[in-house]
Structure 1
Amino acid sequence: MVSATGTSLLLAVPAAVVGAASMGMASAAQARATKEVEVSRILDPGLLRGLAHRPLWLVGMVATGLGLALQLVALAFGPLLVVQPLLITSLIFAGVISARLERRPLDRVMLAGSGVCIAGLAAFLLVARPSGDSQGFSPQSEPLPLAIALATLTVVALIVALLVRHGSMRVLGLAVATGVLYGVTAGLMKVVAGQAREGIAEPFQHWTLYLVCLVGPLGFLVSQNTFQQGRFLTPALAVITALDPLVGVAIGVWWLGETANANAWALAGEGLAGVVILVGIGLLASRAEHLARAQPGTGVSLNAPEGTA
């Protein structure tokens, strides 16, 4: 007889894997579609108006909705430390689907770099072991230091993207801002969900919902800028995929009163996992630069694909 835990995992694991595949498809489709419209200024909402007329982008939006729904199902039936490493495999799915959409062979170095990033993220979550199911801000929390740090990181990243006209630093700045904004949105949405348990009108009486309505769309717009400006999807998506859960864990601990393993050995392991993530991102970025230099005329242009690898 299958235990209740086993039954839950039988639901959570497939939901997480299919959800990751859906989110990978969404990222690949949206990234491809952004190359089919006129290059937009950063933070220009006109980009979304142009993308709304691209069928591939709309397919990506449907895949996003499906992926989010499946992720919620997975998290409802499975523990975070099982589900989250499966969800972040969306990075590999995105790389594979992106290669197919661009009719180019899958680059093995890119695939290896994605695997390194996923391994680092999974190791971080396993060592940190974030726990708790808080539904609101902890009375003992001091949210200001983390809020200032996240806001500063986002602003600096956007300034870098605005000042650097072309190249990997511009894309890196956009990807960092996207990852932070996505992580903040996820953390705040957990608070909104907790407020909604007290009544459907309860979230409208708190500032959290209105901040989500600002930060969420801003993060999505910056993500589309990131996809359009980047020559290859995988390096930028690796930065976003890494920062999103890391910011989420930070918010859970600092704002919501959740716990994480903080003894000396755990901190050393978490630091090592962070180094692994950085190595993976560095491998992806250097490979992308190599491929771009090896291909003449690889600048992003209207109605032009990202190129071949």
Structure 2
Amino acid sequence: MFPLDDLSGLTDQFTQDPARLIGIPFALVGAVLMSLGAQFQHRGVVKVESSSGREAASGLNFAQLKALLQRPSWVIGTVMLALAIVFQLSALAFSPLILVQPLGAIALVITSVLNARIAKITLNRRSVVAIVACVAGVALFVTTAAIVGVDRPVTSTALIVILVAMVAVLAIFAVVFAVTRSRAKAIFYIVAAGCIYGFVATLAKVILSRVSHGNVGWLTILCIVGLIAGTALGAYFVQNAYASGPPDLVIAGLTVIDPLVAVAVGIIVLREAANAPLWAIFSFVIAGTVAIWGVFQLARHHPQAKP
């Protein structure tokens, strides 16, 4: 049976502390900036690919990466995405995860509509169904995590496990990319970037917590190194994804896979849902499956999807 008492408790929290609602406008602004930034970055990558005369889908080379820095549209998009991160972090500072995290999926809807108008295309029925699946799946997954999850302190042992897992993930995707880059598709870049950014989000939260408590030791420095490495490789995969597919597909992957991985790390490593009831386990499985299915369906049926 669904825990109505938990939901009423959350409602009471918002009623008694209206300040928790302050995060909503921050999250909405962040979603808009993310969608606009993705559109500008996509335009920059496409123009660089066209002017260089070389397909970037198999991996941007150094000359193309350098050219991106000289492309105004790409620079503007990068600034917008940086601001989107600032607004999203600000939203989490004021409001709980259950309230603001699902709002990030609005970026997918905005990007889909915006890209359809700019590219002068009409999203087909399967694409619309896929987008709805992505948004609904993420909302259900994060809501379930917020209801049954319990914040636990990140021990040094748990942090080492997270770092080792992240290194393994980075190594796996780097090797797979090196072996299959000539035939890599947009979905590979999107899944890779989403998984990597899920770990990056976890490390960012840990670093902020440890620094605020004056705990700046060798483990915190390793976290910062991992954060920088993950951000760099994830950003590279995102740019390749722009060269391989439409921007709304890229945003779909990031707004779905990123939070799923971040929450999964909390559940598996930090045991934040160790006492979760059976209904929550089923909810996690169903929501995650629906959201990921939506990403793959969008990659397959989007009007701009490359064969």
Mark the CA change 1:190 to 1:149 in structure 2 (over 3 Å): closer, same or farther. closer
Asked if 1:13 is matched to 2:28, the reply is no
Q: Contact 2:154–2:206 at 8 Å: present in 1 too?
A: yes
The Cα shift of 1:87 comes to: 1.1
1:262 matched residue in structure 2: 276
1:137 matched residue in structure 2: 154
Asked if 1:50 is matched to 2:64, the reply is no
Q: Secondary structure at the match of 1:268?
A: helix
Q: Contact 2:186–2:241 at 8 Å: present in 1 too?
A: yes
Q: Contact 1:138–1:255 at 8 Å: present in 2 too?
A: no
Q: Contact 2:104–2:255 at 8 Å: present in 1 too?
A: no
Task: State how many pairs are aligned.
Answer: 287
Q: Contact 2:29–2:87 at 8 Å: present in 1 too?
A: yes
2:4 matched residue in structure 1: none
What per-residue deviation string (whole Å, max 9, x for no partner) do you get for residues 126-176 of structure 1?
223364455x632564854x6666655555555554544667x62221111
Q: Secondary structure at the match of 2:208?
A: helix
Mark the CA change 1:238 to 1:221 in structure 2 (over 3 Å): closer, same or farther. same
1:36 matched residue in structure 2: 47
Name stretches of at least 5 consecutive residues in structure 2 with no aligned partner. Answer: 1-13, 50-54
Asked if 1:221 is matched to 2:236, the reply is yes
2:222 matched residue in structure 1: 207
Q: Contact 1:138–1:257 at 8 Å: present in 2 too?
A: no
Q: Distance in 1 between matches of 2:119 and 2:270?
A: 42
What per-residue deviation string (whole Å, max 9, x for no partner) do you get for residues 49-94 of structure 1?
2111111111111211221121122111111011100012211122
Asked if 1:78 is matched to 2:90, the reply is no
Q: Distance in 2 between matches of 1:12 and 1:227?
A: 30
> Hey, which of these two has a bigger chunk of helix by percent?
2
Residues 98-113 of structure 1 aligned to structure 2 (within 5 Å): 98-107=115-124, 109-113=126-130
The one-letter amino acid of 1:228's match is A
Q: CA RMSD in A?
A: 3.1
The one-letter amino acid of 2:25's match is P
Mark the CA change 1:206 to 1:159 in structure 2 (over 3 Å): closer, same or farther. closer
Q: Secondary structure at the match of 2:224?
A: helix
1:272 matched residue in structure 2: 286
Identity of aligned residues (%): 30
Q: Contact 1:253–1:260 at 8 Å: present in 2 too?
A: yes
1:93 matched residue in structure 2: 110
Q: Contact 2:169–2:196 at 8 Å: present in 1 too?
A: no
TM-score (structure 1 length as normaliser): 0.79
Q: Contact 1:161–1:170 at 8 Å: present in 2 too?
A: no
1:305 matched residue in structure 2: none
The one-letter amino acid of 1:246's match is L
Q: Distance in 1 between matches of 2:32 and 2:125?
A: 19
Mark the CA change 1:227 to 1:244 in structure 2 (over 3 Å): closer, same or farther. same
Q: Contact 1:142–1:254 at 8 Å: present in 2 too?
A: no
Structure 2 counterpart of 1:180, from 166, 180, 195? 195
Q: Contact 1:109–1:287 at 8 Å: present in 2 too?
A: yes
Residues 140-155 of structure 1 aligned to structure 2 (within 5 Å): 141=158, 144=161, 155=171
